Structure 1
Amino acid sequence: METLMENEVFRAFTTYAAIVILKMLLMAPLTAYYRITRGAFSNDEDVAMKATEERKKLLRTHPDVERVRRCHQNDIENVIPFVGLALLYTLTGPELSTALLHFRIFAGSRICHTISYVCALPQPCRGLSWMVGILTTFSMAYRVLSTVLLI
């Protein structure tokens, strides 16, 4: 483990993997905040202590809540594959500067994606930030496959 932590590329990977995973995890409290402040809950047990009429009003969807929830889902669909591929990419021995470029671009694209999603910025903001992140992940996948392909 010590030799792994001496590897600068692996340390860069752990840094940026932690950043994007933490950003993804922070989406759950943000969703809860939006649910509470918008009074829009999705489960009966969330409003069980309320009167029957109030429960009916609170069990509803709200566009702001749905936007944050979809952003969180999009994080799950993109961050988890990035972390797995970035780990494999790290094991191929890339140059530190190239690895940092991949990791920074992906992290920046996910942060921009979240801002554009939550703040409802006009397209193509969200689409472009998603595309940059996915292309970065594909670039790492290409490196992994071209380095170790055994078919």
Structure 2
Amino acid sequence: MAGVFDNPVLPYFAFYATVVVLKTMAMSFLTSLNRLSKGVFANPEDVGFSPGKGKIAADESIERVRRCHLNDLENVIPFVLVGLLYTASGPSLSSALLHFRIFTGARIFHTIAYLFALPQPSRALGFFVGVIATVSMAYNVLSAAKC
């Protein structure tokens, strides 16, 4: 019986899952960097970190990064969880790579479209393509389940 670590899909899943998780983590740092550079903070206790006079306010560019980060959390976590189950379900390597690459590319494109305010439907396309990849993996997991 082959073990989980003998699964030829697992290293590829690990790679693409790590890419999108690191991208999601980078959004936290980008939000903080924007807050510091603009001196705009969400909490009163954070104002002391500002080199000049900080203020409590909303800034559209900071909020845009924050919303993009929240959208990543809503999509990357399901991808990682469903992708792990999908990897364990024994998909073909070519099918798995297609799903992983489409999702990762869609999330990177979504972030670019969000941060640079590209006209719609660019951001929506990035979002829906990623969701479709995750739903497709979920469908394959459910189809392979022996219930």
TM-score between the two structures when normalised by the length of structure 2? 0.92
Moved over 6 A (4+): none
Residue 149 of structure 1 deviates from its aligned partner by: 5.0
> For residue 79 of structure 1, what is the aligned residue in structure 2?
76
Asked if the contact 2:64–2:115 (Cα under 8 Å) also holds between the matched residues in 1, the reply is yes
Q: Distance in 2 between matches of 1:8 and 1:109?
A: 24
Aligned 8 A contact 2:4 2:88 in 1: no
Deviation at 1:37, TM superposition (A): 1.8
Q: Do structure 1's residue 11 and structure 2's residue 11 form an aligned pair?
A: yes
CA RMSD of aligned residues (A): 1.6
5+ residue gaps, structure 2, are none
2:104 corresponds to 1:107: yes
Q: CA deviation at 1:30?
A: 0.3
> Once the 2 structures are TM-superposed, how far is the Cα of residue 84 of structure 1 from its aligned partner?
0.2
Query: How far apart are 1:38 and its partner, in Å?
Result: 2.1
Please list every run of 5 or more consecutive structure 1 residues that lacks an aligned counterpart in the other structure.
none
The percent of aligned pairs where both chains have the same amino acid is 51
Tell me whether 38-47 or 66-75 shows the greater mean CA deviation: 38-47
Equivalent residue number for residue 20 of structure 1: 20
Is the counterpart of residue 140 in structure 1 residue 133 in structure 2?
Answer: no
Aligned partner of 1:116 in structure 2 is: 113
The residue number in structure 1 matching 2:35 is 35
What is the rounded CA distance, in whole Å, between the counterparts of 1:149 and 1:109 in structure 2? Answer: 31
CA distance in 2, matches of 1:107, 1:135: 12
Deviation at 1:110, TM superposition (A): 0.4
What is the letter of the counterpart of residue 22 of structure 1? L
What's the offset of the Cα at 1:3? 4.5
How many pairs are equivalent? 144
1:46 and 2:46 matched: yes
Distance in structure 1 (CA, Å) of the matches to 2:126 and 2:12:
21
CA distance in 2, matches of 1:110, 1:98: 19
The one-letter code sitting in structure 2 at the alignment partner of 1:89 is Y
CA distance in 2, matches of 1:113, 1:7: 30
